[in-house]
Chain A
């Protein structure tokens, strides 16, 4: 599988998403090689979250092409090229972590993590439980296995949500501003988990406002503004020597 010139894990080509006449995402293309972290940055409302939700088909792209692993699809603005069941199977391979965690409040942390393997993958209880316990240990929450979400701090809840996404052994994980809803002192523990995942070679697309974190762990970066890609490339090239005035203006706010 690992040939010299392996096809990228995620390939998005000229993807568009319109809401009526408003174009939220305009002809965005990006590639993420296996095992790399691609970061998407940009001002609020620039379409970066919409793009991420398109990748998981939570939003239906208007046009363009997309491929994750060996699943390729093309959008023509009419119907999704996949049945409900195929979409579900696709989503099972693409993990997603949300800004607001969205843990299932009627399940314990452990049950939250076990839910996908049990219901979707139909794994036996013991096996699903063992995997879930290992994942909670990995995110540093082994002792919170029996806790309900309302008894978890924001940082703990988000780490459980990451474990829940990882439990499906996804080929790529999408992080949608996962630290934006957290108190500042809790951001670090969540970023530490993501950092660890990049070190383990997890393929991921990360939408974030944490610029220092992006500089540290991103392999490649896309800067979006008003739905379009303004700058794209290796992290050092995009964030190192900034020449584009829009990116320069955007980054200035983080230095203040």
Chain B
């Protein structure tokens, strides 16, 4: 490779298209993280239910999405689900569903783990002054648990943003897909993919820093 002449100019022939792709990536990341968090909080609470017939199906959902490759989930929601339930789902929505449930499954475990990590004595002390279970949750357990959940949530969000690159497989014009188009146009895969990596790095490094800082002040 010593004779290779790098030409990064080729990677940036269409800055406007990079920008559009960036918007798509960030949009999918934000939307699937947000919806995934909502699913995660609900599923996480159901995992803590005292009734097995609530816990078991939710736990099944979580395990399926945690233990299958995200790529398969994306393909399945995009191609198989519309066939299976015989309705047409808009392509942009079908593409995001796998990512959303994937985030939801991991968030559910983070939420459940956060609640479980609170010492039983906290529950007892709060009950002993006459609090109702929902008051214990709201006043005592959640404020402490949320602090512990934030760092893993941020970490999961960082992974989620990188995982949006898998959307390119179903032709969503995100950063990865756009990069592939540029490669086929310029025959400069080294420059294009290197630049793409740097773009992800620039977005995610500050997020990762934030997660580290939040980790440090996790107990008051």
Contact-residue size bin, chain B (C-beta under 8 Å from the other chain):
20 to 34
Docked Cα-Cα span, A56 to B128, in Å, equals 7
Q: Is A106 an interface residue, CB under 8 A from the partner?
A: yes
Q: Does A159 contact B (CB under 8 A)?
A: no
CA distance A91 to B130 in the complex (A): 5
Contact residue among B124, B129, B147 (Cβ-Cβ distance under 8 Å from A120): B129
Residue of B nearest to A97 (CB): B128
State which of A81-89, A126-134, A194-202 sits at the interface with chain B. Answer: A81-89
Output the least CB separation between A17 and chain B (Å): 16
Give the total of A residues in contact with B, Cβ under 8 Å: 30
When distances are taken between beta carbons in the complex, the residues of chain B under 8 Å from A106 are: 143-144, 147, 220
The residue in chain A whose Cβ has the minimal distance to the Cβ of B133 is A84
B16 CB contacts on chain A under 8 angstroms: none
Within 8 A of A (CB), among B115-129: 119, 121-122, 124-129
Interface residue? B201 (CB, 8 A): no
Q: Contact check, B132 vs A95: say whether CB atoms are below 8 A apart.
A: no
Say yes or no for B131: interface residue by CB 8 A criterion.
yes
Q: Contacts of B127 on A, CB cut-off 8 Å?
A: 58, 88, 91
How many whole Å from B150's CB to the nearest CB in chain A?
A: 14
CB contacts (< 8 Å) of B128 on chain A: these are 56, 58, 91, 94-96, 98, 165
Q: What separation, in Å, do the CA atoms of A161 and B144 have in the docked complex?
A: 18
Most interface-central of B122, B124, B129, B220 (chain A CB within 10 A) = B129
| A138 contacts partner chain B, Cβ-Cβ < 8 Å | no
Q: List, in ascending order, chain B residues with CB within 8 A of A161's CB.
A: 125
B49 CB within 8 Å of chain A: no
- Cβ-based interface call for A164 (8 A): yes
With A89-B130, A92-B130 known to touch, is A98 a contact of B125 (CB < 8 Å)?
yes
Q: Is A8 part of the contact surface with B, judged by Cβ < 8 Å?
A: no
Contact across chains for B219 and A88 when beta carbons are under 8 A apart: no
Give Cα A40 to B219, complex, Å: 36
Select B132's contact among A58, A84, A94, A167, beta carbons within 8 Å. Answer: A84
| B35 interfacial contact with A, CB 8 Å | no
Contact B122 A102 (CB under 8 A): yes
Please give, as numbers and ranges, the residues of chain A lying within 8 Å of B135 by CB-CB distance. Answer: 119-120
Complex Cα distance, B124 from A98, in Å, reads 9
A-B contact pairs, 19 of them (CB 8 A): A56-B128, A58-B128, A88-B130, A88-B131, A94-B128, A95-B129, A100-B121, A102-B124, A104-B140, A104-B144, A106-B144, A106-B220, A115-B139, A116-B130, A119-B135, A120-B129, A120-B131, A148-B220, A164-B125
Give me the interface of A with B, judged by CB distance under 8 Å.
56, 58, 84-85, 88-89, 91-96, 98, 100, 102-106, 115-116, 119-120, 148, 150, 161, 164-165, 167-168
New contact pairs (13) apart from A98-B125, A106-B143, CB-CB < 8 Å: A85-B132, A88-B127, A93-B130, A95-B129, A96-B124, A98-B121, A104-B125, A105-B219, A106-B147, A148-B220, A150-B220, A164-B129, A168-B130
Q: What 5 pairs across the A-B complex have the smallest Cβ distances? A: A92-B130, A102-B125, A116-B129, A102-B121, A96-B128
